[in-house]
Structure 1
Amino acid sequence: MSRRLRFVALGDSLTEGVGDPVGDGWRGWAALLAGGLAPDGGSVEFHNLAVSGAQTCDVLERQLPVALALRPDIASVMVGVNDTLRCTFDLHAVAARLDRVYAAFAEQGVVLLTACLPDPGAMLGLPGLLAHPLARRQQAVNSVVHALSERHGAVHLHAAEEAWVADRSMWSADRLHPGERGHRVLAVRFHALLAAEGHARGAPPSLEPETSAPTRAASLWWLATAGTGWVARRCTDLLPQLLALSAHELRHRARGTSARLDLRASSAVVSALASLTTADRPDPA
């Protein structure tokens, strides 16, 4: 008897399933996708290692060793947004960690799933001077993810398109995580990519939600209650630097040199990718 297909999911709250509640916990896109990977009559062994708040260092140091020990057939790695929300953000470090994680799965012959993700500043509706620095960070991370996904042969999903961000029904009340509809869309899109390459042989997940989308009132209630705590926790770490970045943005706008900031961000991506070499990758095992 052949062993069951094994799918391991790594990442942060997005993959943990936040925004798609089932019972006393979260379900999410990865769990929805798992059900459609094996043909009818087959079964999938699914392990969700994702943890809310995880950064690339957490995936590399804590989640990756556990995932490799499970010897998965398919693994997903979706992380990086939390890195952009920290004052310690370092694109070179993010690129190096992701490169090691992707390479570790590639060396085991694992089918790797990755995705580019929306900008959190845009999702929260932050003012331009605050949103633009975060947008540049997320765009830089997405560029790195895209390049490394191609380098390591990953199945890559572009999930940062405007249509995805603009459709309010796709998102939960917190404005940061997909709601049930959004999680289902992610699962269906990943399934289509995997099926095209012969890696998903079961029926795709349904797009039909089991619950209604959050109302505007629910979103406002979240911002007035739980949202204030989220902002307070992030402000302690990020706000001082974000204010400095915003002041820097304002000075460049006043001088008409905002294009320089975009150029610097692009140069940082090129530099981060150029600094990666095979010799720099220690054996993760």
Structure 2
Amino acid sequence: MRSVRFVALGDSLTQGVGDPAGDGWRGWAALLAPSLAETPDGVRFTNLAVSGAQTRDVVERQTPAALELRPDLVSVVIGVNDTLRRTFDIQAVAAHLDEVYASFTRAGATVLTACLPDPGAMLGLPGALARPLARRQRAVNTVVHALSERYGAVHLHAADGAWITDRTLWSADRLHPGERGHRQLALRFHALLAEAGRATGQPPSAEPEFPAPTRAASLLWLATAGTAWVARRSRDLLPQLLRLAADELRHRARGTSTRLDLSASAATSAALSALPEGRAEKTEAVREVVVPGEVAVPDTARV
């Protein structure tokens, strides 16, 4: 019997950041892979996700490499990094995702997708800074929802819920899940795939294999890698984000904040309307699960 070929695309969430294993990362996709077949050796898993990747990177680099592997199952969890760049363009994000989903659907692969929480909420930013990021993430999630339905993807709703505030599921940087969070995400994807008849193995364990990082280790990470991340974002996003925050405050003072939401919604609708028709046939209705509060807690996030 031929092995199930599973290829994971995306950014640091799928790369496994937050779930250390040896000198590298493991993550939810690696935890999910063995459960796709009755025996772990019945799965061929390749992780092409790269920390910092945007939707453009998935189109230009990861998708061609993945298609050469002829996957049966491909995960495409991406988009948060796009919201953290000054070049954010929802029309470009929609076009990139449409091209990726269509390519794999034409190739006969099942596509896994997820919508994610906004990074401003995860980082606990002040409202004027957080709201522009939230607006961007809502736009990305709207596109992911619409295209997941269009292409019959297996879709996990992970954009909100009480799990966001459960600190035991998250790593020190507040953007990536820790091992428990990665395991919860793997469990939720497995449940959806099992319901669809596309995962025949036992679900991944919810129990952590390794002890949680000590407070000292977390502080060391924040002082090194975390500081470097903040420095990169400060050079790229921060100047624009400050301008967006100033605009946010002006609208709030005038009582016209709804105009910003309406403008963002109109831009998202226009981005979806601009996509070409008939790039691939829809294979089946989208399967979606809403992540509830505690045990259901899957995860998310980026970098």
Give the structure-1-normalised TM-score.
Answer: 0.94
Q: Is the 8 A contact 1:130 1:246 kept in 2?
A: yes
Hey, what's the Cα distance between the residues in 1 that align with 2:26 and 2:238?
31
CA contact (8 A) 1:171 1:179 kept: yes
Distance 1:119 1:47 in 2: 27
User: Is the Cα contact below 8 Å between 1:9 and 1:76 reproduced in 2?
Assistant: yes
1:161 to partner: Cα distance: 1.8
Deviation at 1:278, TM superposition (A): 3.1
Moved more, 29-38 or 262-271: 262-271
> Structure 2: how far apart are the matches of 1:213 and 1:137?
32
Flag the structure with more relative contact order, 1 or 2, with Cα contacts below 8 A and sequence separation at least 6: 2
The 3-state SS of whatever aligns with 2:67 is helix
Alignment CA distance shift 1:41-1:263 (3 Å) = closer
Where in structure 2 are the equivalents of 1:1-285 lying within 5 Å?
2-40=1-39, 43-214=42-213, 219-278=218-277
Structure 1 gap segments, 5+ residues each: none
Q: In structure 2, what residue type is equivalent to 1:80?
A: G
| SS of structure 1 residue aligned to 2:155 | strand
State the superposition RMSD in angstroms: 1.6
**What TM-score comes out, normalization by structure 2 length?**
0.89
Query: Comparing 76-85 with 32-41, which one deviates more in the overlay?
Result: 32-41
Q: Secondary structure at the match of 1:76?
A: strand
Q: Which segments of 5 or more consecutive residues in structure 2 lack a partner in the other structure?
A: 281-303
The whole-number CA distance in structure 2 between the counterparts of 1:40 and 1:172 is: 31
Identical positions, percent: 73
Question: Quick one: distance in 2 between partners of 1:189 and 1:102?
Answer: 21
How far is 1:264 from its partner?
A: 1.1
- Given that residues 34 and 41 in structure 2 are in contact (C-alpha distance below 8 angstroms), is that contact kept between their aligned partners in structure 1? no
Structure 1 residue 214: Cα displacement: 4.4
Query: Which residue type is aligned with residue 208 of structure 1?
Result: E
Instruction: Flag the 1:163–1:277 CA change in 2: closer, same or farther, 3 A.
Output: same
- Matched residue pairs, number? 280
Identify if the C-alpha distance between structure 1 residues 164 and 21 changes in structure 2 by more than 3 Å, giving closer, same or farther: same
CA-CA distance at 1:221 after TM superposition: 4.7
Alpha-carbon displacement from aligned partner over 1:244-284 (angstroms, at most 9, x marks no partner):
00000000010111111111111111111001013789xxx
CA apart distance, 1:182? 0.6
Q: Secondary structure at the match of 2:198?
A: coil
Could you tell me how far apart the structure 1 residues matched to 2:184 and 2:114 are?
13
2:12 counterpart letter in structure 1: S
Give the AA of the match of 1:201. T
Distance 1:188 1:280 in 2: 31
1:239 CA drift (Å):
0.7
Residues 266, 215 of structure 1: alpha-carbon distance in 2 compared, 3 angstrom cutoff: farther
Q: Quote the offset at 1:92 in angstroms.
A: 0.1
